[in-house]
A = this chain, B = another copy of it.
């Protein structure tokens, strides 16, 4: 970390600042220029609050040279992390498609969808039992009953399960769920992240609607700092001014994250665009950009289940998407 002091800073002020840095266990390398003094900080600067430092009256600019995330950082862990989900590997060349309905609605629904997506090549089953909804009056999920139905579908198909956890007090209910999903709205629910750091289950961490990639990595760091290195990152659209799509899928996140971190990165084309007709092109694009996987909403009958069709593919549409995704990956192999 480098702090540039303002023109006019006295040697006493400079020394006082250096003493404070040294009290934090850092060593200072002072470079006195004609107009500015530059202090290079050596040591563990992860505890330095850069915003607070920048606001000191004698400080002109602060530049962080090293990233604030460590365990998630590719610089210290060059090999890509391969997360093992009950035998299904993701990351480091292993590409997986997670598919299933937004919410678990009934035994028939979840088992039918599970069988269909498995037949088309999906290797994990998603399904929400706890649903974060903007309105307190909207359907909030089947909760424990939904988890039970997911487990039946797992038994039938052998597909590992991915389901969202919103409250750490529900953890026991997820004992047989294979991947715990942290939703976008909980990406900075730090208490939840800390607790998940004590699990050994893989965590699917979704980027918040208005969170930077650095913040996403810092949230992964919360989980990893607790001892759980099995984190899968997921880009699912960010909030912008554009309204034709529900959110704006930031697909550049794939190469950027692959450069910054060794963790696997997957794309959610369903929530990001909000409309099923954009899911296919964005799935092909995600595969072409080098994503390690996709998480796609599929419903067995979105046409009749009027209230669930917005962003879900039919099993038939999903089959085509999965097939073409494979072709894109082969073309770039």
Contacts and interface: CB of A to CB of B under 8 A. Distances in A.
Chain copies in the assembly? Answer: 4
Interface string A90-129: 0000000000000000000000000000000000000000
Interface in A124-175: 132-139, 166-169
A288 B284 contact: yes
Contact of A138 (B33, B49, B287, B289): B49
Interface in A235-282: 238-246, 248-252, 254-256, 259-260, 272-278, 281-282
Interface residues of A, number: 107
A330 interface: yes
A270 to B, nearest CB: 11
Given A47-B138, A251-B282, 15 more contacts: A20-B307, A33-B42, A38-B40, A46-B137, A61-B65, A63-B63, A68-B137, A136-B194, A238-B248, A240-B241, A240-B248, A248-B248, A259-B277, A284-B288, A284-B289
Contacts of A4: 2, 63, 65
Interface of A: 2, 4, 17, 20, 29, 31, 33-36, 38, 40, 42, 46-47, 49, 51-56, 60-61, 63-65, 68, 132-139, 166-169, 185-186, 188-191, 193-194, 208-210, 212-215, 218, 221-222, 225-226, 238-246, 248-252, 254-256, 259-260, 272-278, 281-282, 284-290, 306-311, 324, 327-328, 330-332
